[in-house]
Chain A
Amino acid sequence: MEVRVANVRKEFDRFPALHDISLDIRSGELIALLGPSGSGKTTLLRLIAGLEAPTEGAIYFGEEDASYKSVQERNVGFVFQHYALFRHMTILENISFGLKVRPSATRPPKGEIRRRALELLDLVQLSGLEKRYPNQLSGGQRQRVALARALAIEPRVLLLDEPFGALDAQVRRELRKWLREIHDNTNHTTVFVTHDQEEALELADRLVVMSQGMIEQVGSPDDVYDKPNSPFVFGFIGESSYLPVEVENKELWVGGRAIGLPAPDETTGAALLYFRPHDVELVEDGAALAGVVAASRRVGGTRRVELEIGGGKERVEIDLPFDHPAGEKSRIAFRPKRWRLFPVKG
């Protein structure tokens, strides 16, 4: 099922939460809404589910305008951060709830409901726990039950709101892999919200990076990581360092010295140079960024070096292999291998 969000605006008591959002979600894809808290990602998810109504704009499921449909009619599977399992029901009762509450005309017979619930329990690898109560399961197990419960109604879209947000790092990683497998097997159109970029990069077919109620960038994880189209995205996704530079004569300058990087187009004036700390090459001579080592610490397999550039006015970080000889030096010159330039407005 394709989902199309068309020019949606959402206000809560006059406070704008989303500004004119448009987004096409392709059938069968696993798409992540990524952003800091307050960016509107959860609001967008709840609008798609029908748990909130847009102030303006429409949401289409396929060709059909779903804006006027109630949450019950939309037939979406929703997984909540804190599971929201019915604690007075057994696991099996939880999973079969969505089928049991259907009107009698479309409700499967009892035996069929039970069979399908058990099948789903097997899919989420919790066979044998059908008689337990939610309270008797671990957080990871509860979230699996929540997913099985959402899948039981054969949803047109599967929506997950920070599904692993309440879990330990270890369990998170396991469930991430497992969710990917489930998605590949069932091929539901899936939208999940997260503020964890690693989770989004690893899991999603496409990312939607959001900030302050607007979409900053949509693209594959590689696209977004390699070609961030704004300082926000560059800063939010992955490690980054930045440095104010001057653009003149199709070259970049820092403190009156050319640094050996060509300006990409005709822009001139002040700009910000963004690069990944690990994506740099050290150079001995010639035009480069040179700085005095201000701090150096080993982080696992790399050494993070903090450099003062331009007489201590700016600091950037670069990563070196932890046993690289340059780590001992007091002065390092380098050039970013890949970088982006964002003009400073005003």
Chain B
Amino acid sequence: MAAFSTRFTFRRGNRRMVLTTRKRARWRFRQPSVIPGFGLTFGFMIAYFSLIILIPLIALGIRSAGLGFDGFWRYATDPRVLGALRVSFSTALIAALVNVVFGTLLAWVLVRYRFPGRRIVDAIIDLPFALPTAVAGIALTAIYAPNGPIGAFFAPFGIRLAYTPAGIVIALIFVGLPFMVRTVQPVLEEVQHEIEEAAATLGANRWQTVTRVLLPGLTPAILTGFALAFARAVGEYGSVVFIAGNIPLVSEIAPLLIVIRLEEFNYVGATVIAAVMLMISFALLFIINLIQAWSRRRFGYAL
């Protein structure tokens, strides 16, 4: 009996030990910390985020899901909707590609060269972040309209910029430029001088060094900047509506069609366009993250 009871306590003790170790290794939402305030700050963050962002977005999702696949498809494939999506995505793509070239060039010039006024140029790159889109919109229209300074220059050749898709592209170049420059610039600043010296000692001329060593090293940053500029351009409204001309199937962008549908109290139509745009945007966001994860895994750096 005595032997039994000792064995029992031993076993119980043992089991208790197992329990405590399991408790220590248990899944834990957060690492312990001596700094107070996690509950308050985390709680406020989640509550605020849910109320402002998450619940409204979910409401949109539920609304469009309520249509069922067929209803959704019917609304989404309406020719005017398809036309607006095509205009939005094609102009955004062209603008983002233009920004790839000029944004990279600007980042290069700002990082590598010293010239009078460099700091001012560097500061003004952010203008599209700070200037309200409606202000940019009417200003661009004034410039590129047939009686504006640049519009008047092209008008004699029969080239119209404002009130055509070309005008949309110009406005989207304006809003997307800083995304490109500000993504490439810090990466370029981090490039070690030694990399270029190494290429030179190996016999590469300057052109080869830039095209084969420096630019390929910047590719992840350029791709990210492109995706950011593109995503922003697809959703852009304020700077585009004034200059676009807003002709259905030609120069009517998807965000404008949403506004038009709302003014017609066609909430379903607006919701479907929004849902399609959101899906594409989130897919883009996902792709950006994939690029960065891939780049980090393979080359040990991202962005």
Q: Point out residues on A near B: beta carbons under 8 Å.
A: 49, 51, 70-72, 75-78, 80, 82, 84-89, 97-98, 101-102, 133-135, 146, 149-150, 152-153
- Once A78-B197, A84-B198 are accepted as A-B contacts, the answer to whether A98 and B203 lie under 8 Å apart by CB is yes
- Once A88-B217, A101-B208 are accepted as A-B contacts, the answer to whether A72 and B195 lie under 8 Å apart by CB is no
Contact between B201 and A133, CB atoms less than 8 A apart:
no
Restricting to B168-212, which residues have a CB under 8 Å from any CB of A? Answer: 192, 194-195, 197-205, 208, 212
Contact between B203 and A87, CB atoms less than 8 A apart:
no
- Once A87-B301, A135-B298 are accepted as A-B contacts, the answer to whether A97 and B199 lie under 8 Å apart by CB is yes
Q: Whose C-beta in chain A lies nearest to the C-beta of B297?
A: A135
Q: How far is the CA of A80 from the CA of B202 in the complex (A)?
A: 12
B25 smallest CB distance to A (angstroms):
31
Contact between B299 and A76, CB atoms less than 8 A apart:
no
Specify which of A70, A86, A88 is in contact with B219 (CB 8 Å cutoff).
Answer: A88
Contact between B198 and A88, CB atoms less than 8 A apart:
no
Q: Whose C-beta in chain A lies nearest to the C-beta of B196?
A: A84
Q: Whose C-beta in chain B lies nearest to the C-beta of A102?
A: B203
Q: Would you call B155 an interface residue if the criterion is a C-beta within 8 Å of the partner chain's C-beta atoms? A: no
- Once A82-B192, A101-B212 are accepted as A-B contacts, the answer to whether A88 and B299 lie under 8 Å apart by CB is yes
Restricting to B204-238, which residues have a CB under 8 Å from any CB of A? Answer: 204-205, 208, 212-213, 216-217, 219
Q: Whose C-beta in chain B lies nearest to the C-beta of A89?
A: B216
Please list the 10 inter-chain residue pairs (A to B) with the smallest Cβ-Cβ separation, ordered nearest first. A135-B300, A98-B202, A84-B194, A78-B201, A84-B198, A101-B204, A71-B200, A80-B194, A101-B208, A88-B216
> Which chain B residues lie closer than 8 Å to A150 at the CB level?
201-202
Contact between B195 and A86, CB atoms less than 8 A apart:
yes
> Which chain A residues lie closer than 8 Å to B200 at the CB level?
51, 70-72
Q: How far is the CA of A221 from the CA of B290 in the complex (A)?
A: 55
Contact between B192 and A84, CB atoms less than 8 A apart:
yes
Q: How far is the CA of A258 from the CA of B265 in the complex (A)?
A: 112
Contact between A87 and B201, CB atoms less than 8 A apart:
no
Q: How far is the CA of A70 from the CA of B197 in the complex (A)?
A: 12
Chain B CB within 10 A, most for which of A49, A78, A84, A150: A84
Chain B CB within 10 A, most for which of A76, A80, A134, A146: A80
Q: Whose C-beta in chain B lies nearest to the C-beta of A97?
A: B202
Pull 25 A–B residue pairs with CB atoms less than 8 Å apart, ordered by A: A51-B197, A72-B200, A72-B201, A75-B203, A82-B192, A84-B192, A84-B198, A86-B213, A86-B217, A87-B217, A87-B300, A87-B301, A89-B216, A97-B199, A98-B203, A101-B199, A101-B204, A101-B205, A102-B203, A133-B299, A133-B300, A135-B298, A135-B300, A135-B301, A153-B202
Contact between A135 and B299, CB atoms less than 8 A apart:
yes
- Once A88-B219, A102-B203 are accepted as A-B contacts, the answer to whether A82 and B299 lie under 8 Å apart by CB is no
Restricting to B46-76, which residues have a CB under 8 Å from any CB of A? Answer: none
- Once A88-B219, A133-B298, A133-B299 are accepted as A-B contacts, the answer to whether A101 and B194 lie under 8 Å apart by CB is no
> Which chain A residues lie closer than 8 Å to B301 at the CB level?
87, 135
Q: How far is the CA of A304 from the CA of B219 in the complex (A)?
A: 58
A187 smallest CB distance to B (angstroms):
20
Q: Whose C-beta in chain B lies nearest to the C-beta of A155?
A: B201
Q: How far is the CA of A331 from the CA of B219 in the complex (A)?
A: 71
Restricting to B84-101, which residues have a CB under 8 Å from any CB of A? Answer: none
Q: How far is the CA of A78 from the CA of B196 in the complex (A)?
A: 12
Contact between A101 and B203, CB atoms less than 8 A apart:
yes
Q: Whose C-beta in chain A lies nearest to the C-beta of B198?
A: A84
> Which chain B residues lie closer than 8 Å to A102 at the CB level?
203
A47 smallest CB distance to B (angstroms):
13
Q: How far is the CA of A89 from the CA of B299 in the complex (A)?
A: 9
- Once A80-B197, A80-B198, A88-B217 are accepted as A-B contacts, the answer to whether A72 and B299 lie under 8 Å apart by CB is no
> Which chain B residues lie closer than 8 Å to A97 at the CB level?
199, 202, 204, 212
> Which chain A residues lie closer than 8 Å to B205 at the CB level?
72, 101
B207 smallest CB distance to A (angstroms):
10
Contact between A84 and B195, CB atoms less than 8 A apart:
yes
- Once A87-B217, A88-B217, A88-B219 are accepted as A-B contacts, the answer to whether A76 and B298 lie under 8 Å apart by CB is no
> Which chain B residues lie closer than 8 Å to A134 at the CB level?
300
A30 smallest CB distance to B (angstroms):
19
> Which chain A residues lie closer than 8 Å to B208 at the CB level?
101
> Which chain A residues lie closer than 8 Å to B201 at the CB level?
49, 51, 71-72, 76-78, 150
Restricting to B117-157, which residues have a CB under 8 Å from any CB of A? Answer: none
Q: Whose C-beta in chain A lies nearest to the C-beta of B209?
A: A101
Q: How far is the CA of A84 from the CA of B198 in the complex (A)?
A: 7
Q: How far is the CA of A72 from the CA of B194 in the complex (A)?
A: 15
Q: How far is the CA of A70 from the CA of B301 in the complex (A)?
A: 32
B40 smallest CB distance to A (angstroms):
41
Q: Whose C-beta in chain B lies nearest to the C-beta of A101?
A: B204
B302 smallest CB distance to A (angstroms):
11
- Once A87-B299, A135-B298 are accepted as A-B contacts, the answer to whether A72 and B203 lie under 8 Å apart by CB is yes
